[in-house]
Amino acid sequence: MSFDRLIEKIIELKNPTVVGLDPKLEYVPKYIQRRYLEKDGLTLKAAAKAIYDFNQAIIDEIHDVVPAIKPQAAYYEMYGHYGIRTLEKTIRYAKLNGMFVITDGKRNDIGATMEAYTNAHLGTTLVGENSMEAFGADALTVNGYLGTDGIEPLLKVCRKQDKGIYVLVKTSNKSSGELQDLKLEDGTPIYAKMGDLCEKWGADTIGKYGYSAVGAVVGATYPEMLAELRQRLPHTMFLVPGYGAQGGGAEGLKGGFDANGLGAIVNSSRAVMCAYKKEECDERDFAKAARREVIRMRDDITQYINLK
Amino acid sequence: MSFDRLIEKIIELKNPTVVGLDPKLEYVPKYIQRRYLEKDGLTLKAAAKAIYDFNQAIIDEIHDVVPAIKPQAAYYEMYGHYGIRTLEKTIRYAKLNGMFVITDGKRNDIGATMEAYTNAHLGTTLVGENSMEAFGADALTVNGYLGTDGIEPLLKVCRKQDKGIYVLVKTSNKSSGELQDLKLEDGTPIYAKMGDLCEKWGADTIGKYGYSAVGAVVGATYPEMLAELRQRLPHTMFLVPGYGAQGGGAEGLKGGFDANGLGAIVNSSRAVMCAYKKEECDERDFAKAARREVIRMRDDITQYINLK
């Protein structure tokens, strides 16, 4: 219940960032690709195995700097059940390395189906009397368009098993305003209304740092809305995509944090995974380049906030 | 491009329904469960294998009556990568049997990530020069909260590879109104605005029956909204959940169809999968019971519409 575990890890490492592991095969250095493509051919299986080696090496290098990873489900589904196996193994490996794992799946459904998603990603699946984790992440991103029926099954597991969710509120993309910025009859924009629902859904799960188990996704690309929502949603922790590659600068993130430098975790994906390409270093140095980038990102962001 | 292929199948079988394959292990007859649980133990692997046998037997019995199946991704993810393999095989088996496959995944994201979901579920994944289908469904349900950036990558594949999407507009659950029914400043409810976006997104993909490649999910549980949206969205085909188990009656569906009995496809999941439980027949007769139920459903629904 609540995001206390994640927040403690953020305080311990003095680093409110998360690395998105969204690995396309083309991000994986050629020498790793060759290991498997030569053995298994140009197959989904070979690609999925290469991606696991890539993820593992990055986790080895960053786990003492960064509190969390955020694997994006889409990039694993692309490789079919082989990719999903890599997702399972990546989550397990990150947890073994003491990292907090947020599966970015933006899942949404109702009733028994939402229970199935909850069991899959955060809870356990029952086979006979045997209860097993299918993925076993610590948190999941979700889409709240279906209302409380889509959130309640998640909350049950958040309360019992110390897990959390991030609901899409104001996303980082250009067209996010098409629906999210429209104003309701009373003048409230839809994204703010969705934010209010997050406060309501999380109300009975507030932890010792003041944040509930129900967080919100709010893009770095709209700094004024990030600051506005920080004020409006005092118990809702933010997951902030859009830093770096999508154009959100570090100073603009400031408004997403509270006076203690808490209340937000900022994601970077491609800039970390492909740091070796940007640096133009030897591809065998990709994991060290990722480490250099996460340290740079940490220092870039923490200079503007008051995290002790 | 467009839903012509599905509509032709509906006309051929005179049946505008789809069977949701959302198989919990407890729906699978004990004699099938035993086949695998004795061999592989109480494992996710055994459960996933049992579910595949169950799906296969149902497809064998219904494919000459029902035009389409709709596997719900959540129930496969519950069983980890073993479950996902069962999903892949179920899709392939249904297609081999001439059925149209709608993966119910309610996926949503932006840019490169939405491209990855699109490639995974509808398109192909590239490994080196080798392009492969990971899942290869004909259509996918999606959530439009992120706007055009989340839909455009899907449309590219819909146009090129004759695929379709269903966007959540007005869902069948009790709390769907919490957000979806709220009125915008000009008095339009959010669900109608989302419907208008579907018309816009689909505008250049309209097929010979007048429907585009962008459909909408509209619940059977709100018959007046179903009828209102049929008028408002003349080029948007509806996927209608909530018939039967969730309380939507056949007569209330009428308003979702056009004058030719087209424009909608009605889903039933549990009532078909668990027909043998309701009938209290021998569990070995589960697939025949499913067949009896899909015929009953077809006749129940077509009595109110004008499908020639």
In the stretch 118-157 of chain B, residues with CB closer than 8 A to chain A read: 119-121, 125-130, 132, 134-135, 143-150
Q: What are the φ/ψ torsions at residue B231 (nearest 5 degrees)? A: -70, -45
- Assess contact for A142 and A168: CB atoms under 8 A: yes
In angstroms, the separation between the Cα of residue B281 and the nearest Cα of chain A is 23
**Which residues of chain B are within 8 Å of residue A106 when distances are taken between CB atoms?**
107-109, 143
The one-letter amino acid at A74: A
| pLDDT in the model for residue B262 | 97
Read off the pLDDT of residues B260-281 as tens digits, 9 standing for 90 and up.
999 999 999 999 999 999 999 9
**Given B14, B70, B95, B106, the catalytic residue:** B106
Angle at A117 between CA B123 and CA A52, to 5 degrees: 60
| CB–CB contact B182 A168 (8 Å) | no
**Which residues of chain B are within 8 Å of residue A222 when distances are taken between CB atoms?**
none
Read off the pLDDT of residues B105-125 as tens digits, 9 standing for 90 and up.
999 999 999 999 999 999 999
| pLDDT in the model for residue B123 | 97
- Assess contact for B213 and B202: CB atoms under 8 A: yes
Return the DSSP state at B150. G
Q: A227, exposed or middle or buried, with CB in 10 Å at 0-12, 13-18, 19+? A: middle
Q: Could you tell me which chain B residue has the CA closest to the CA of A134?
A: B80
Q: A278, exposed or middle or buried, with CB in 10 Å at 0-12, 13-18, 19+? A: exposed
Kindly tell me if the per-residue pLDDT of A245 is higher than 70.
no
Alpha carbon distance, N-terminus to C-terminus of chain A: 24
Read off the pLDDT of residues A138-148 as tens digits, 9 standing for 90 and up.
999 999 999 99
Between CA B90 and CA A278 the distance in angstroms is 42
Locate the DSSP E strands across chain B: 17-21, 68-71, 100-107, 125-127, 130-132, 139-142, 164-170, 214-218, 238-240, 264-268
- Assess contact for A65 and A15: CB atoms under 8 A: yes
Arithmetic mean of pLDDT over chain A: 96
- CA nearest A258: which of A62, A7, A70, A61? A7
In angstroms, the separation between the Cα of residue A259 and the nearest Cα of chain B is 30
| pLDDT in the model for residue B248 | 72
Between CA A230 and CA A256 the distance in angstroms is 6
Kindly tell me if the per-residue pLDDT of A246 is higher than 80.
no
Tokens, residue B21: 């394959």
- CA nearest B178: which of A194, A179, A171, A106? A194
pTM (2 d.p.):
0.97
In angstroms, the separation between the Cα of residue A147 and the nearest Cα of chain B is 5
